[in-house]
Amino acid sequence: MQSNTQQQIPNSKFLIPYCLHLADTTLILSHRNSEWCGHGPILEQDIALTNIALDLLGQARNFYQYAAMLMGVEFDEDKLAYLREPNEFKNHLIAEHPNSDWAVTILRQFYFSCYQYYFYSELKNSNDEQLAAIATKALKEVTYHLRWSTEWVVRLGDGTEESNTKMQNAVEFLKDYVIEFFVMSDYETELLKDAVSIDVKAIQGKWQQKVNDVFEEATLNFVPSPNSRFGGKDGEHSEHLVSLLEEMQSLQRTYPNSVW
């Protein structure tokens, strides 16, 4: 363990932001999904989406705990989740986007689960044992998220005229937020040298193929984006994240160190 820790010191400069990126993305999407709690179209879907939110929260905790361990004794998972400023968050912009309607929520979950599926499939072979272990565990959850969200994309896309229109609008609505999945940040590029991170560019083809297959079944048309939005992974966010964090962090900031 001692020698292991020493080995990690050279790249902890990049490993910490990488862990925070992975944690933030799953935490923020978890929070967005949790906003549906009590508002789902039917009870069963309310529970399904809340389950997914809890799975993502569990993944976030694993990454925060690992980041806190690398950062030192004065940090813990709660501090990292509840006491950081918006410009310190490294989540994908798609995660912080407001839920809008059920179609957008479903399509975002499908895009994200599809990305996570191929991402974790690679990350489980990471040279970093901790990341590999988290990925292996999370992949089982994500496999179900992908199945569930695929089912809904097809059901709504190939459903009624109204549901198809809403889904196609969702495709349009989210089109600028897709490419960010596949753009390497500096810390990912550095960690890739030691095969700690994964090459997200390399999973874009698989992602697109899966989306195309599902869209064909769902009678939807994928829309490429001429001006994609980037920057989330380096802390550049929309005002949506500011208001999300204001709500999510309010309890911990009002009553510091409160616990369940």
Residues engaged in binding another protein (CB under 8 A) = 42-45, 47-48, 51, 144, 147-148, 151, 155
Q: Is 176 helix (H, G, I), strand (E, B) or coil?
A: helix
12 to 172, 191, 230: CA distances (angstroms)? 39, 9, 24
In terms of CB distance, is 43 or 259 closer to another protein? 43
Q: Residue 35 CB, nearest distance to another protein (Å)?
A: 18
Q: Residue 44 CB, nearest distance to another protein (Å)?
A: 4
Q: Residue 54 CB, nearest distance to another protein (Å)?
A: 9
1: Cβ contacts below 8 Å, ≥ 6 apart: none
Q: Residue 29 CB, nearest distance to another protein (Å)?
A: 18
In terms of CB distance, is 110 or 187 closer to another protein? 110
Rounded Cα distance, 115 and 251, in Å:
32
Rounded Cα distance, 114 and 139, in Å:
11
In terms of CB distance, is 19 or 29 closer to another protein? 29
**Axis crossing angle, helix 129-157 with helix 204-218, rounded to the nearest 10:** 20
Q: Residue 66 CB, nearest distance to another protein (Å)?
A: 26
In terms of CB distance, is 37 or 47 closer to another protein? 47
Q: Residue 53 CB, nearest distance to another protein (Å)?
A: 12
Report how far apart the first and last C-alpha atoms of the chain are (Å, whole number).
32
User: Residues of 32-61 as b/e, b for ≥16 C-beta within 10 angstroms?
Assistant: bbbebeeebeeeeeeebbbebbebbbebbb
In terms of CB distance, is 29 or 81 closer to another protein? 29
In terms of CB distance, is 154 or 248 closer to another protein? 154
Helices (H), the chain: 2-34, 43-71, 77-82, 93-96, 102-123, 129-157, 161-174, 186-192, 204-218, 239-248, 250-254
